[in-house]
Amino acid sequence: MWQGTRSQTVSPSSQQPQPSPLRWLMISLVFAATVVNYLDRQTLSVIAPVLQHDFGMTNESYGRIVFAFMLAYTVMNALCGPVIDRLGAKAGYALTVGWWSAAEVLHSFARGSFSLGAYRFLLGLGEAGNWPAGVKVVAEWFPMEERALASGIFNSGSSVGALIAAPLVVWIVLRYNWQVVFSSIGALGFIWLAVWLLVYRTPERPRHETRALRTPIRELLSSRFLWQFTLSKVFSDPVWYFYTFWFPQYLKSGRGFDMKAIGEWAWIPFFTAGAGNLLGGTFARWVMAPSASTRRLSPRRQRKVLIVAFSLLMTAGIPAALVHGAGASIVLVSIATAGYTGALANTLALPADVYPPDSVASVWGFASTGAGFGGMIFSLLTGWIVGRWSFTPAFILFGTIPLISALLIWLLPDKRYA
């Protein structure tokens, strides 16, 4: 079982491996890429009311466009993980960011729901690579007790991107038009790409440390850990997709918000999601530290406890559509998003706890394929539920399924060969 990390250097005085200080620069680049990723992704959900009016789209048509993104995202996750493991983090990340940025710019040429869905499909193909590449950077640069914090830092980019998307996109739409939104935000990815190619480097492995071989795909596919981990994501990630793609719609149709009000308030759940990322990682660093006096369980069991605890917070989404006031609803959704990201910060670290760095992108990519299938199914289901009833049963659904995911994580084997 893999225990080391490439980013370690040997201290002459102690002869114990020490993490490189450059790891914080590298994870900041991954954080920035994730911000851009979610800006690109979130633009559609923010301006969906405008596009629905311009293109004559129904809720079910919008659900099919979201489905197109999730289909591409799902299929590509299974492919991009092994590709990134083979190319390495630098080339793999550059390829995926360049692709999705070009796809985002193409959105400005959409002339109806079909072309919008096609460009959304291309965006999904590119954006699938962000998290496999991110977890690979974490596995290469960070020791075990810091991986959840590093994962939380880079994953908080999704919250920051979603947080600033609403006011930024609304401002651009009101000042210019929706075409400018897609073209200008897509250009940010190419700026990041130039910085990445100039700055990033693969960390050196200490001389005393032997290289762990990449786990063969056949061995990965025969592992109970991989399949159960994948199934857990089928029931966790659709919760985030629901709040990301549908929350602005809910504020409009369920709470009577106009575009200005959406820009003023829709960012709050994503702000708390960013805090959840950092809380999940900070708690993990504290309880899993080698000198921690609180250690009564194994490090992997401690990580599972944190995932279950944060998953319970996601049940706050159940009463979010039942309370009378819009403010109370936003507060409950904000608790749920913090729970999701707190759990995810530790979930992102799980593959590196069990597999060597040269395999973690493949593991996460395969698991994200399961999450994509879950997202596709639940996106269509959400459109169907909302179109025929209301948002209330959808909130109940997405406040319940995280408990299934938490149970699957708790029952995960601690060894990849189990």
From the list 69, 80, 130, 70, the residue with the least C-alpha distance to 103 is 69
Range of the domain at 40: 20-200+219-410
Contacts of residue 126, defined as CB under 8 A and 6 or more positions apart, other chains included, come to: 76, 96, 97, 98, 99, 100, 101, 102, 103
Residue 208 lies in a domain: no
Q: Give tens-digit pLDDT for 83-99.
A: 888 888 899 999 999 99
Residue 278 lies in a domain: yes
Whether 323 and 315 have beta carbons less than 8 Å apart is answered as: no
Q: What is the pLDDT of residue 147?
A: 86
Residue 27 lies in a domain: yes
Report the first-to-last Cα separation within the chain, whole angstroms.
12
Lowest mean pLDDT: which of 34-48, 117-131, 277-291, 337-351?
277-291
Q: Mean of the pLDDT values across residues 30-54? A: 86
Residue 361 lies in a domain: yes
- What residues does 18 pair with on adjacent strands? 9
Q: Would the pLDDT of 77 be above 90?
A: no
Q: Mean of the pLDDT values across residues 111-138? A: 89
Q: Mean of the pLDDT values across residues 173-202? A: 90
pLDDT category at 239 given cuts 50, 70, 90 is very high
3-state secondary structure the chain: CCCCCCCEEECCCCCCEEECCCHHHHHHHHHHHHHHHHHHHHHHHHHHHHHHHHHCCCHHHHHHHHHHHHHHHHHHHHHHHHHHHHHCHHHHHHHHHHHHHHHHHHHHHCCCHHHHHHHHHHHHHHHCCHHHHHHHHHHHHCCHHHHHHHHHHHHHHHHHHHHHHHHHHHHHHHHCCHHHHHHHHHHHHHHHHHHHHHHCCCCCCCCCCCCCCCCCHHHHHCCHHHHHHHHHHHCCHHHHHHHHHHHHHHHHHCCCCCHHHHHHHCCHHHHHHHHHHHHHHHHHHHHHCCCCCCCCCCHHHHHHHHHHHHHHHHHHHHHHHCCCCHHHHHHHHHHHHHHHHHHHHHHHHHHHHHCCCCCHHHHHHHHHHHHHHHHHHHHHHHHHHHHHCCCHHHHHHHHHHHHHHHHHHHCCCCCCCC
- pTM for the model stands at 0.73
Q: What is the pLDDT of residue 14?
A: 40
Q: What is the pLDDT of residue 224?
A: 86
pLDDT category at 210 given cuts 50, 70, 90 is very low
Q: What is the pLDDT of residue 229?
A: 92
Residue 210 lies in a domain: no
Token pair for residue 323? 């309370």
In this structure, is the dihedral angle defined by the CA atoms of residues 321, 323, 326 and 329, taken in order, positive or negative? negative
Report angle CA 376, 237, 138 to the nearest 5 degrees: 125
The domain spanning residue 115 has which CATH number?
A: 1.20.1250.20
Lowest mean pLDDT: which of 21-30, 192-201, 256-265, 397-406?
256-265
Residue 418 lies in a domain: no
Q: What is the pLDDT of residue 289?
A: 67
Q: What is the pLDDT of residue 6?
A: 39
Q: Would the pLDDT of 155 be above 50?
A: yes
Q: Would the pLDDT of 130 be above 80?
A: yes
Our count of domains for the chain comes to 1
Residue 14 lies in a domain: no
Token pair for residue 366? 């395969």
Q: What is the pLDDT of residue 261?
A: 85
Q: Give tens-digit pLDDT for 314-359.
A: 999 999 989 989 999 999 999 999 999 999 989 988 888 888 777 8
Token pair for residue 360? 């973690």
Q: Would the pLDDT of 190 be above 90?
A: yes
> How does the average pLDDT of the chain come out, rounded?
83
Residue 270 lies in a domain: yes
Whether 274 and 156 have beta carbons less than 8 Å apart is answered as: yes
Whether 160 and 274 have beta carbons less than 8 Å apart is answered as: yes
Token pair for residue 326? 């819009």
Lowest mean pLDDT: which of 237-241, 286-290, 291-295?
291-295
Q: Would the pLDDT of 214 be above 70?
A: no
| Of residues 413 and 125, more confidently modeled | 125
